[in-house]
């Protein structure tokens, strides 16, 4: 049986924390669909296409994954792809509240969908896309948290915003 999971998120932008989770997921599943949420309510720094492009570049050497964008509910995207496992990353305890609410809401919407939580290595446990954007805007070196291509993109984006 071919086991597939979906790892949904904003990936605004992708960090080594996300990549860590993607690699762990590929050790468990035959195929992982990394799904970039195209949600107009959420204020992202990068457009959907920019987030997709950065993710594709950052994961090009990882086997068994597919990077795609989706609109609307993740459970509908899962159903369309015939997938019943969602992967989410759990960093610090503060993630738990939100992730539990979301997992239970998704389960309420579709009983058959299970959410599987994976923990990143400790080194990435405090890493978030928001932190990277803030630190970078203040001039910090973020090269140990995001791939070079992403670092360059953030710098370019922030320069254009000034």
Chain position whose Cβ is nearest to ligand ADP: 17
46 contacts ligand ADP (rule: CB under 6 A): no
User: C-beta of 1: minimal distance to ligand ADP in Å?
Assistant: 26
48 contacts ligand ADP (rule: CB under 6 A): no
77 contacts ligand ADP (rule: CB under 6 A): no
21 contacts ligand ADP (rule: CB under 6 A): yes
70 contacts ligand ADP (rule: CB under 6 A): no
Residue 153 annotated among the catalytic residues of the structure: no
* Number of residues forming the site for ligand ADP (CB under 6 A): 16
Exposure class string for 95-104: b at 16+ Cβ within 10 A, else e: beeebeeebe
Is 146:13 a contact under the CB 8 Å cutoff?
yes
136 token code pair: 């970078």
CA–CA–CA angle 8, 118, 60 (5° rounding): 55
29 contacts ligand ADP (rule: CB under 6 A): no
Query: Sheet of 4-9: strands edge to edge?
Result: 65-70, 31-37, 4-9, 85-89, 114-118
78 token code pair: 């899962």
Q: Which stretch binds ligand ADP (CB under 6 A): 16-24, 60-68, 134-142, 154-162?
A: 16-24
User: C-beta of 89: minimal distance to ligand ADP in Å?
Assistant: 2
User: C-beta of 7: minimal distance to ligand ADP in Å?
Assistant: 7
89 contacts ligand ADP (rule: CB under 6 A): yes
Name the residue nearer to ligand ADP (CB basis): 2 or 48.
48
The partner residues of 20 in beta bridges, in order of sequence, read: none
| CA-to-CA dists, residue 139 to 68, 79, 127, 155, 158, angstroms | 31, 43, 17, 9, 10
Active site residue ranges = 18, 42, 91, 129
């Amino acid at each position: 049986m071919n086991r597939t999971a979906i790892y949904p998120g904003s990936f605004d932008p992708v960090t080594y924390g996300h990549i860590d989770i993607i690699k762990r997921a590929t050790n468990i599943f035959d195929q992982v669909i990394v799904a970039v949420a195209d949600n107009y309510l959420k204020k992202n720094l990068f457009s959907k296409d920019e987030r997709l492009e950065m993710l594709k570049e950052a994961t090009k050497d990882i086997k068994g994954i597919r990077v795609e964008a989706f609109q609307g509910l993740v459970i509908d995207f899962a159903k369309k792809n015939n997938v019943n496992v969602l992967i989410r990353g759990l960093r610090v305890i503060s993630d738990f509240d939100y992730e539990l609410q979301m997992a239970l809401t998704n389960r309420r919407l579709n009983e058959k969908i299970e959410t599987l939580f994976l923990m990143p290595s400790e080194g990435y446990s405090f890493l978030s896309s928001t932190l990277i954007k803030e630190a970078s805007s203040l001039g910090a070196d973020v090269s140990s948290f995001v791939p070079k291509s992403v670092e360059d993109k953030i710098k370019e984006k922030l320069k254009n915003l000034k």
